[in-house]
Structure 1
């Protein structure tokens, strides 16, 4: 069974998802980072595909993408790295990228590589869910790739319900109207509380602006899980001992 499905079935609440940029801080660090996150019992790992125009990302993730691209990270390099540790990784891996990357690579070729690399699902913030349903759903299902769609405080209730229905993994809830990377969790609490009244059938996790243990615990009050990205990347930015830096950060939020 798909590893993401298994995780979401076995653990209903208090999920922790960590985002890391592929090829950062150094080109060959990604396998080490993934294995160390797994060792620290992270529930889901989101691997960001570096991109030159990351619309949803704040300054921290943009800077890590630029560094990773300069390091030489490319999709085929990432897939090769993931394949090299596939037998060691049981934690669900979700790739986060942009729709143009999928189209440019070739949708079926991309999804096949994901399956062969041990990837469980994809987050493509700019892929319209109706396009997914009309053009891509069958291929996602063929290669056992779950799709995670985003909702924001500006998303109307009827669209939230439609996105919930289209999502095959978990729903990614943007906590506020900003880009990623805020050092303070500025939750739109009215929006988050209102989600519980919509009868959503898929698990949902809150991201954007989560960086501390207190932020995580607050996210857990409103959702099934918390997603941390920029704070983790800042923690490993200048690391000379990557495993220890991963350990220290995860311990700080537990």
Structure 2
């Protein structure tokens, strides 16, 4: 098992994942942030590789992506930066981004490099499930990489069952079909959505993302799921300036 599968094979609940964009707020900050997040208590991390047209992301992550790209970040540089990842960080690491840069880099080459630097999983939201299953599933498996697939409130039960069949660590539940950065709305509809997924008794646990910005929304997500992902709120924190590395411990303590 990779580190991600080992984490989810255990019984630990209220898992906290943090997303941030590689190369933001400074080009060289990628590993320093990862190390600080692990020390602060994050259970696993999602490192985003920037793309020029991040259609599912809100203004905060869009800005971080553009800043990173303008500074010179690309996949070659990211993998160079991650060469020392496992000398400094032990928790599971996921790379998250759009499929276009991966295809341009070469899917097999991308997966091989990710495995070499110690990445455990990939989240590529716009990689069609059919293409993954028919073209790339073996490549992911050969490199011991988990593919994390997204579910929205509008996803049919049939598709969710298929996603569960193709998954091997966790399923990423979007709290809404909106873009990143919108606050998690406490509503009967959200409860019904979480309960619906819980009642399906899927073999894979679920983690909630989009809109987790404070302890209340984090606890709401954890009520029905194994944990939650904080993204835009952390990226916004990084962009506020100051000594962000020393502030990461306090940020994580806002949630757990």
TM-score (norm 2): 0.96
5-14 or 142-151, which deviates more: 5-14
Q: For structure 2, list consecutive stretches of 5 or more residues without a partner in the other structure.
A: none
* Aligned residue pairs, count: 254
The answer to whether residue 51 in structure 2 is matched with residue 46 in structure 1 is no
Which residue pairs with 2:232 in the alignment? 230
The answer to whether residue 211 in structure 2 is matched with residue 194 in structure 1 is no
- CA 1:179–1:142: 2 relative to 1, 3 Å: same
- Does the aligned pair in 2 maintain the 1:4–1:93 contact within 8 Å? yes
- Does the aligned pair in 1 maintain the 2:183–2:210 contact within 8 Å? no
Matches within 5 A, 1:1-254: 1-185=1-185, 188-254=190-256
For the residue of structure 2 that corresponds to 1:253, the secondary structure is coil
77-86 or 104-113, which deviates more: 77-86
CA distance in 2: counterparts of 1:235 and 1:160, whole angstroms? 33
For the residue of structure 1 that corresponds to 2:87, the secondary structure is coil
TM-score (norm 1): 0.96
RMSD value, Cα? 1.3
- Does the aligned pair in 2 maintain the 1:185–1:210 contact within 8 Å? no
Query: 4+ residue runs of structure 1 moved beyond 2 angstroms?
Result: 183-189
CA distance in 2: counterparts of 1:50 and 1:206, whole angstroms? 22
Q: For structure 1, list consecutive stretches of 5 or more residues without a partner in the other structure.
A: none
- Does the aligned pair in 2 maintain the 1:183–1:231 contact within 8 Å? no
